[in-house]
Amino acid sequence: MAPWERLKFILLYSPEKTQKTRNNNNSRVGELYSINNYFLFIFRAVAAYLRALNLSPNNAVVHGNLACVYYEQGLIDLAIDTYRRAIELQPNFPDAYCNLANALKEKGQVSEAEECYNTALRLCPSHADSLNNLANIKREQGYIEEATRLYLKALEVFPEFAAAHSNLASVLQQQGKLNEALMHYKEAIRIQPTFADAYSNMGNTLKEMQDVSGALQCYTRAIQINPAFADAHSNLASIHKDSGNIPEAIQSYRTALKLKPDFPDAYCNLAHCLQIVCDWTDYEARMRKLVNIVADQLEKNRLPSVHPHHSMLYPLSHEFRKAIAARHANLCLEKINVLHKLPYKFSTELKGRLRIGYVSSDFGNHPTSHLMQSVPGLHDRTKVEVFCYALSQDDGTTFRSKISREAEHFIDLSGIPCNGKAADRICSDNIHILVNMNGYTKGARNEIFALRPAPVQVMWLGYPGTSGASFMDYLITDAVTSPIEVASQYSEKLAYMPYTYFVGDHKQMFPHLKERLIVSDKTGQNLADNVAIINATDLSPLVENTDIKEIKEIVKAAKPVEISLKVAELPTTTLIENMIASGQVQTSLNGVLVQNGLATTQTNNKAATGEEVPQSIVITTRQQYGLPDDAVVYCNFNQLYKIDPATLHMWVNILKAVPNAVLWLLRFPAVGEPNLLNTAQNLGLPPGKIIFSNVAAKEEHVRRGQLADVCLDTPLCNGHTTSMDVLWTGTPVVTLPGETLASRVAASQLNTLGCPELIARSRQEYQDIAIKLGTDKEYIKAMRHKVWTARSTSPLFDCKQYAQGLELLYFKMWERVAAGLKPNHITDTTAKK
Active site residue 785: no
**Position 69 in a domain:** no
What was the pLDDT predicted at 829? 96
Measured at the alpha carbon of residue 68, what is the angle toward residues 66 and 71, in degrees to the nearest 5? 115
Q: Which structural domain range is residue 698 located in?
A: 632-795
| CATH number reported for the structural domain that contains residue 427 in this entry | 3.40.50.11380
Give the CATH number, domain containing residue 319: 1.25.40.10
Q: What is the predicted pLDDT for the residue at 37?
A: 58
Span 120-133, pLDDT tens digits:
999 999 999 999 99
pLDDT digits (tens, 9 = 90+) for 408-445: 999 999 999 999 999 999 999 999 999 999 999 999 99
244 and 359 housed in the same domain: no
Q: Which residues neighbour 217 within 8 Å (Cβ) at sequence distance 6 or greater?
A: 203
Residues, the chain: 833
Domain identity same for 515 and 475? no
Banded pLDDT at 43 (limits 50, 70, 90):
low
User: pLDDT-based confidence at 46, cuts 50/70/90?
Assistant: confident
User: What confidence score (pLDDT) does residue 607 get?
Assistant: 96
Query: Residue 632 contacts by C-beta under 8 Å, 6 or more apart in sequence?
Result: 658, 659, 660, 661, 662, 709, 710, 774
pLDDT at 557: 83
Choosing from 127, 240, 309, 310, the catalytic residue is 309
- At residue 65, the pLDDT reads 84
Q: pLDDT tens-digit profile of 444-479?
A: 999 999 999 999 999 999 999 999 999 999 999 999
CB-CB contact of 665 with 640 (8 Å): yes
Which of 595, 625, 655 represents a domain boundary (last residue)? 625
- Roughly what angle, to the nearest 10 degrees, separates helices 3-13 and 60-72? 10
Is pLDDT of 93 > 80?
Answer: yes
Separation in Å, CA 634 to CA 630, 721, 732: 13, 18, 10
Average pLDDT, integer, range 311-328 = 98
Q: How high is the pLDDT of residue 521? A: 81
The pLDDT value recorded for residue 47 is 75
pTM for this one? Answer: 0.91
Mean pLDDT calculated for residue range 83-88? 94
User: What are 458-461's contacts with CB under 8 Å, separation 24+?
Assistant: 458/433, 458/434, 458/495, 458/813, 459/435, 459/492, 460/435, 460/436, 460/501, 461/368, 461/371, 461/372, 461/437, 461/501, 461/502, 461/503
475 in any annotated domain: yes
pLDDT at 6: 39
pLDDT tens string 175-216: 889 999 999 999 999 999 999 999 999 999 999 999 999 999
pLDDT grade, residue 10 (50/70/90)? very low
Residue 21 lies in a domain: no
| Statement to judge: residues 639 and 748 lie in one domain | yes
How many separate domains does the chain show? Answer: 5
Decide which of 775 and 55 is more confident.
Answer: 775
What is the tens place of the pLDDT at every residue in 237-264? 999 999 999 999 999 999 999 999 999 9
Q: Is the peptide bond preceding residue 669 cis, with omega within 30 degrees of 0?
A: yes
First to last CA, the chain: 84
Picking from 224, 259, 294, the residue at the C-terminal end of a domain is 259
Q: Which of 308, 340, 372 is the last residue of a domain?
A: 340
Q: What is the mean pLDDT of residues 780-800?
A: 97
Q: Any idea what the Cα angle at residue 268 is, between residues 266 and 272, rounded to 5°?
A: 110
- Residue pLDDT, tens place only, 615-674: 999 999 999 999 999 999 999 999 999 999 999 999 999 999 999 999 999 999 999 999
Which band of pLDDT confidence, cut at 50, 70 and 90, is reported for residue 35? Answer: very low
pLDDT digits (tens, 9 = 90+) for 795-830: 999 999 999 999 999 999 999 999 999 999 999 999
